[in-house]
Structure 1
Amino acid sequence: MAEQPLHEHTLANGLRVVVCEDHVVPLAAVNIWYRVGSRHEQNGVDGKSRTGLAHLFEHLMFQGSANVAEGEHAALLESAGATFNASTSFERTNYYETVPVSHLELALWLEADRMGTLPAALTQENLDNQRDVVKNERRQRYDNQPYGTAFERLCRLTFPPGHPYAHTPIGSMEDLDATTIEDCVEFFRTWYAPGNAVLSIVGDVDAQEAIAMVERYFGNIPPGPAAPPPRPGDLEPLTGIRLEEVDEEVPSAAYFAMMTLPSDGGPEIEAAEMAAEILGGGSGSRLYDRMVRRDQIATEVWTGVTRLVDGPSLAIVEAIGPDPARISDVLDEELARFAEEGPTEDEAARAAAQAERGLLERIETVAGLADALSANATQFNDPARTFTAAERAAAVTAEQIKDAAARWLAPGARTALSYGGSK
C-alpha cells in the first residue's frame, strides 16, 4: 500500500497526535492508545497483587467523568450514530470510535473529559458494578468455557512467578475483589497521562483543523507524572517440555502447547509467524494434514501467534483429540521435519501472501488504519511503519522461514497442557 501523508503533532502536555486524511466517506475514526496493559500491573512482585486492573479500567472509562454523567458517554455516541469500543492486552489499552465527521468534536471532547477528569466520577458504586461485570466476563469466557483457562495456564507455566507476562489481562477474582477506589485513582494517575498516550484521527478531516480541535480539548490536561519504566520482560529460552495435566470437565481430551517467538518489531518475527502459519494455520497446514487427515489423531488443530513488544511473542498450538501424548509425539515429529526441510516454495508463497493480505485488510477502513497508526506510534515510535508492514511480509524468504522454525519452533522446547476429557 502506498504511504499516505501523515500529520503529526505533540501537545505541550506530551500527547502525541497523528492525523491521516481520507476523504472517501464522510467519517472520522478516533483511536487512542494508552501504553498500559496487564504487564504494568502489580502481580505480587512487591508483595501486592492487583491483576485485572488494566481491563477493569477499560470498563470504568465508560462510566462517566467530571462533565459526563454515568451512562452518557455511550448514549451520546449512540445518538451520533457512532460505533465505539475498547480493548485491553498485555501491553496497551485502546479506546476507539468512528463517527460521522460532523461529530468529530463530540468524540474528542468525550475522550478528553475522561482522560482529564475520570476520578471525579469514580464512585464505590461504579467500581462495584464494573467489578461484577468483569468477574462475570471471566466466568463466562474463561472459567466456565471448555479449555477457557488454557492460555492463562500456559502463561503461568511459561513465565516465572512475578514476571510481567505470567498473568493475563482478565486478572484473578481475588485481586478484583481486593481492588479499592484508591487503587483505581493511583492506577489512573500513573498511566492515564497525556504523555503516555497516542491519539490518531483518520477520515474526512482537514488535518490542521483536527489538530486544532485536539489542542482545544486536550491541551489543558495536566501532563501528569512520567510513566514508570516497565519491568524487564526477558525470558530464558524454553528447554524440555513443561507439562501440566488439567483435571477439568471438557468435551474431549486435548493438547495445548506454547512456544516463545522473537519480540515484535525485529526482522525475525515475520518469518517466525509465517512458520507458525505453515505449521498449523488452518486446513491447509502441516499439522492439520498429519493429525486430522492422515493419522486421524485429532479432530481439530490450530496454531496462532500473539505478538509482544516488551517480551517474547508467543505461539500457541491447540489440538483436540483422544490421545494427548500421541499428539505431543507427532507435534515433535513435524517440528523436527520442518526445521530440517523448511517450507516448500508453495508454502512460503502462500504464507507470505496470506500475511500481506491480512495486513492490508487491517488498514482498509478508517478505523483499522487509525488503530494501526496508534499501534506503530506507541510501540515503535513510527506511525508510518504501518504502510511498510505488507512489504516486510512479502520480503520474507523460504530460507528465513526455515531458520526461524529451527530456532523458535524446535521439538521438545515448550510448555504444554494435557486435558484428559470428560470423566
Structure 2
Amino acid sequence: MQQFSAIEGTYMPMGHTATAEAGSGGLTATEHRLANGLRVVLSEDHLTPVAAVCLWYDVGSRHEVKGRTGLAHLFEHLMFQGSGQVKGNGHFELVQGAGGSLNGTTSFERTNYFETMPTHQLELALWLEADRMGSLLAALDEESMENQRDVVKNERRQRYDNVPYGTAFEKLTALAYPEGHPYHHTPIGSMADLDAATLEDARAFFRTYYAPNNAVLSIVGDIDPEQTLAWVEKYFGSVAGHDGKPAPRDGSLPETMGGQLREVVEEEVPARALMAAYRLPEDGTRASDAADLALTVLGGGESSRLYNRLVRRDRTAVAAGFGLLRLAGAPSLGWLDVKTSGDVEVPVIEAAVDEELARFAEEGPTAEEMERAQAQLEREWLDRLGTVAGRADELCRYAVLFGDPQLALTAVQRVLDITAEEVQEVAKARLRPDNRAVLVYEPLAADEADAPEETGASEETGAADNTDEEAAK
C-alpha cells in the first residue's frame, strides 16, 4: 500500500520542519514549502565540503499526447540552452567553472536536473535553477529548438536504432502496455514526432509543467539550513506558480496480462536473445519490494538461480539477468534478459527459465537466498543514500511520486521487513508465462547481414535502452 505524508497538500511556512529518524540509519531530512507551492527538502551531511542540488518536475513521457511523443525529453535538452540571465551554454560553463558537475534526465514519470557543487558555490547552483524555472522562455527560440531537435534525433540513432538489441526497450514496452496507454511509448519519442514538434509546442509545454508548484527541490550535503532556505526564498520565491496542469492519463491495468504477448525480431545482433517483461506491482507498495527480492534471488547477479542454471550448469547462455523497472503510475515491469551461447535455440532457454520460475513459485526462496537478496538490496540502497547526489535524488523521487520524501530514508527497513512468504506469493501470482511480453532476437543470416542498408531506414526503426531514463548530455 502506498504511504502518503500527512503534510502533503498543506501550506508549510519556511520555518516549518519535519524530520524522520526511526529506521533511517541516522539520516534526517527537513521539509518546507514556499508560498508559490515549491516544496523544498534539506538533508545535512558534513562529511565532505560538497552540496547536491536536485530539482524534479512532475512531468515525463506519460504526460505526452499522441503525435507529440519525445517532447518531455526534448524540452529537457532545451533547459540547457540558456535562460533570462544565462546565455547559450552558460549553465554548463558556470557550474563546471566553479568545480561542479551537472546533468538532467527524463523518464516515464518525471524530469530532473541536478548539480553537485563545492559548498561555497551552492548559491550559484540555486540561482541558475531558479533563473531557468522563471525565465526560460526569454531565451527559447527557433535556433535552439532546431539545434536540440537534431541532438535528440542523433542520440536516438546512436543509442537505439544503430546498436545491437537497441530496439529492445521500445519494442518490449510497446508490447507490455497496450496501444493508447500512457506508458506504451518510451521517453525518447519517435523520429516523426520529434520532426513535428514546434516552438509553440515547447513554449506551451513549459507554461504547463515548469512551475514551482509542480516541482520538488532537494539540497543535500555540507549546508547551513538557515542560509540555504534564505537563498531558496531569495531566488525561487518570486517565480509565479500556476494551475491548469492536466492530470496524467490513467495507467492502471489488470494485475496480469491474461496471455503471453510475443514478437520475433531479426536484426544484426551477435547472439540470439530472450527478453521478457512481466507485469508486476506498482512502486511504493510492499508487494513491489517483495517482487524486487524475488527478481534478485532469480536473476540478480552471478549467485542467482537463473545465472547458475543457464550460464554455469547448462552453459546455454553467456549472460542472464532479471531486474525490476519500478513505476508508480502503472504496473512495474520485471525485465528478463538472456543472451544465448553458441547455436543454442531460444526455446531451450525459455523452457529452462519457465522451469526455474515454476520451482521458485512452488518452493519459495531459501533462508540463505532471502538473507543474501536482502543484504544485496540493502547495500544498493545504502550506497545510494550515502552519496549527496543519490540521497537528493531519492528524496525528490519519494516527494514527487508518493508525497513523502521521508520514505526515502526508511526504504532499507521496508525491504528488510519483507518475508519469504511474501516473496513466494508475488512470484506465484506474477512470474507466469501468461503474464509476460516476450521479445526474441534472431541474428540475420550471413548474406542478409552483409547486404547494404537501405537509405533512410534508421530513422524509422524502433529504439530502446535498458532504462526508462533519457539523459540530456
Q: TM-score, normalised by structure 2?
A: 0.87
**Equivalence map 1:23-172=2 (5 Å):** 23-42=46-65, 44=66, 49-172=67-190
Flag as ranges the 4+ runs of structure 1 deviating above 6 A. Answer: none
SS at match of 1:314: strand
Q: Which deviates more from structure 2 when the two are superposed, residues 85-94 or residues 238-247?
A: 238-247
Contact kept? 1:301, 1:318, Cα under 8 Å: yes
Tell me whether 65-74 or 2-11 shows the greater mean CA deviation: 2-11
For 1:419, give the aligned amino acid: Y
Distance 1:254 1:5, change over 3 A: closer
Match status 1:250 vs 2:269:
yes
Which residue of structure 1 lines up, in the alignment, with residue 383 of structure 2? Answer: 361
Q: Which amino acid aligns with 1:251?
A: P
Work out whether residues 64 and 73 of structure 1, in 8 Å CA contact, stay in contact via their aligned partners in 2.
yes
1:412: Cα distance to partner? 3.4
* Separation (CA, whole Å) in 2 of partners of 1:168 and 1:22: 36
Residue 263 of structure 1: how far off its partner (Å): 0.4
Identity across aligned pairs (percent)?
Answer: 55
- Offset, 1:294: 2.0
* Partners of 2:78 and 2:148 within 8 A in 1: yes
Answer yes or no: is the 8 Å Cα contact 1:64–1:114 preserved in 2.
Answer: yes
Paired residue secondary structure (1:274): helix
* Counterpart secondary structure, 1:305: strand
User: Which of residues 356, 359, 362 is equivalent to 1:340?
Assistant: 362
Aligned partner of 1:411: which letter? P
User: Aligned partners of 1:301, 1:143: CA distance in 2, in Å?
Assistant: 23
Q: Distance in 2 between matches of 1:115 and 1:194?
A: 8
Matches within 5 A, 1:207-356: 207-236=225-254, 237-321=256-340, 322-356=344-378
Contact in 2 for aligned 1:254/1:323 (Cα 8 Å)? no
Task: Measure the CA separation in 2 of the matches of 1:207 and 1:130.
Answer: 37
In the alignment, is residue 409 of structure 1 matched against residue 428 of structure 2?
Answer: no
Q: Secondary structure at the match of 1:247?
A: strand
Which residue of the partner structure matches residue 396 of structure 1? 418
d(CA) in 2 for partners of 1:312, 1:393 = 19
Q: Please give the alpha-carbon distance, in whole angstroms, between the structure 1 residues aligned to 2:196 and 2:307.
A: 44
Question: Alignment partner of 2:217: what SS?
Answer: strand
Whole-angstrom distance in 2 between the partners of 1:90 and 1:187: 16
- 1:192-234 CA-partner distances (Å, limit 9, x unpaired): 1111100011122211211111111011111022421111001
The answer to whether the Cα contact below 8 Å between 1:156 and 1:167 also exists between their aligned partners in 2 is yes
Partner of 2:14: none
Structure 2: gaps (5+ residues): 1-23, 446-473
Residue 190 (structure 1) aligned with residue 208 (structure 2): yes
Q: Quote the offset at 1:235 in angstroms.
A: 1.5
Deviation at 1:270, TM superposition (A): 0.7
TM-score for the superposition, normalised by structure 1: 0.97
CA distance in 2, matches of 1:283, 1:421: 26
- Map of 1:376 onto structure 2: 398
- In structure 1, runs of 5+ residues without a counterpart are none
* Alpha-carbon distance, 1:3 to partner: 4.0
* Deviations, residues 132-173 of structure 1 (Å, cap 9, x unaligned): 111111111111111111111011111111111001111111
Secondary structure of 1:110 counterpart: helix
Deviation of 1:324 after TM superposition, in Å, equals: 1.3
Secondary structure of 1:269's counterpart equals helix
